[in-house]
A and B are shown apart, each in its own frame.
Chain A
Amino acid sequence: MTKNRCFLSKFALLALLMIITSLSSAFAANAYYVVVNKKMGISKISKGDLKELYLGKKKFWGKNIRVNVSFVNHNSPVTKRFIDEVVNKTPDQFQRYWRRKLFTGSGLPPKKFSSDDDLLKYVGKTIGAIGIISSDKYHKNGIRYLTIL
């Protein structure tokens, strides 16, 4: 009886560990990283600033350099997670928000790319560009990873 109980509790612990591991790996798979054009000379950014950038409320770096925001298209899990966690909107709300801004001439929505590679090329060659990607393993010229505060 005691042996059985011990076996059951070990089994439950193992199942719990497996669930936690799979959840954390799923979370890690959807982790987002912020890259910026190296010439911007910054190394960290707050979540509040990121939200303002992706909602078009903050349009300039410093005094005169126009911000060019970008991400890998709306439906990618990384972008979805970023919009949810940082911008605090659902993808549909985000889409509607930008549609209104776009058609009133109040701003341009984030530029969409089909892959991290395309986004990195754009950020690397565009002054003022910032982007959201799914990996911190890229080492390309002209880009810098930002620490999110």
Chain B
Amino acid sequence: MREIFFMFKICKFGVRINLLLMGFLFVGGIAESRANKKLHWNGFASFYGSDSLSGAKLEGIESDPNFTNFTKVGLNLRSDFADNFAAIGQLLMDGGDKSETDRSVDWKVKADWLFLLYEANDSFSLRLGRQLFPAGITAEYQDVGAAYPFIGIPIHVAQLVPLKAFNGISADYKIPIGSQVLSIRALAGNEDKDIVFTSGAITGVNTNKIRNIFGGTLSLEGDGYLLRGEMIRADLTSKIDPGVIASVETIVSGVSLGAKSYIEMEVDRLMHYSLGFKWDKYDFVLYTEYMIIDGQNGTNMAIVSSNLIQGKFLDKAKGGYLVTGYRCGDILPYYMYSKSDWSKSGLVSDVHVQHALGINYQIDTDAIGKIEYREGMSEVGAGFATKVNSKARAWVAGVDIVF
């Protein structure tokens, strides 16, 4: 058990990845000798090219051909070291972050998530460690392109989910209802990674973290379909720089900074809701999801940024997508519509609409080729400034494999 806790420590503090792998192999070795079980590994990769057809940028796709935007390689590791316990993790190397403000290409191998799984019986299980934030149908396998029919959820909708993973605990309880299964999941945790906002940095405000995450998901799964709802609340905390501390001290009575060079304060309370439905049966495919992110209390943030609307950092943003297609043997033509409305959020005033036409081709059991034509329209403005309408067209093509 000590080795497992060691692994989680490594994950939490981001120590070098080879130590993590060694930890896994070590546990795998223990498992093999003690319980005649093995370390299981499975990989996935996506190799994509993209190019803007209109010259204008569309969600990070620029006028020059790019081969990094959607390209990634990952390794999924699992060690069953007892009948009820397993350590499961994912290493990921990708060509860019999903947010447009941080599209740096580093190709570093990251420990994406890593948790200890305890399965008490067929109904109840616990996960402890770093796990994916379950906001959306595809959230928990979003990097595995071969697991869903389209290339990916458009960035303007994906950004409605403020974080990808969190450190904490989650409990799952499954109740069979005839041939269907009702799953209830409750979670709690924190995210230590700095959150980058699409609206860009606010002067003097940095190191935004999401704390006190509580919430749950409710899903009903049947033969070929899934209905899923989620509600999660969290606190957004930020560190305020020395430059604005003086004004904070003046305005907020009782704030004592002492020798600190910054002050960490709760600047907003976030509520995240999503409702999704998936159907994949009788050759007909449908994925649809609607999401809302709502800032509940941004009073403190209003002190350090006068740009905010109604004193809130993030008031409300909403959006969703719908994908529909029909399987004709190995070929699946599909259409995707997506829309996000950030017009009521504090710093940005954007409405994005995107249409995409794509073809998914099952090359092999473990390989899927995909090509997509995208057309996006944006109405962008800042504060009360005049809104600017823009259109962009792009193509994305590549292959998803599992191994």
**Which residues of A approach B to under 8 Å, CB–CB?**
57-60, 63-66, 74, 88, 92-93, 95-96, 99-100, 102-105, 108, 126, 128
Contact = CB atoms under 8 A, between A and B. Distances in A.
B224 A93 contact: yes
The 10 closest A-B pairs by CB, nearest first: A105-B88, A104-B140, A66-B83, A103-B144, A103-B141, A100-B147, A99-B147, A104-B141, A100-B141, A58-B122
B23 to A, nearest CB: 17
Interface residues of B, number: 35
Nearest to B37: A66
Interface string B199-239: 00000000000000000000000011000000000000000
B141 A64 contact: no
A99 B402 contact: yes
12 contacts: A60-B119, A63-B121, A66-B80, A99-B144, A99-B402, A100-B141, A100-B144, A102-B42, A103-B143, A104-B132, A105-B127, A108-B40
B32 interface: no
A88 B84 contact: no
Interface of B: 36, 40, 42, 44, 76, 78, 80, 83-84, 86, 88, 90, 115, 117, 119, 121-122, 127, 132, 140-141, 143-144, 146-147, 174, 176, 181, 223-224, 280-281, 362, 365, 402
Contacts, number: 60
A103 B83 CA distance: 20
Contacts of A128: 83
Contacts of A92: 362
B76 A99 contact: no
A126 to B, nearest CB: 8
Given A57-B181, A65-B83, A103-B144, A96 B280 contact: yes
Contacts of B141: 99-100, 103-104
Contacts of A105: 76, 78, 86, 88, 115, 117, 127
B135 to A, nearest CB: 14
Contacts of B40: 108
A88 B179 CA distance: 12
A63 B84 CA distance: 10
A93 B362 CA distance: 12
A60 B120 CA distance: 9
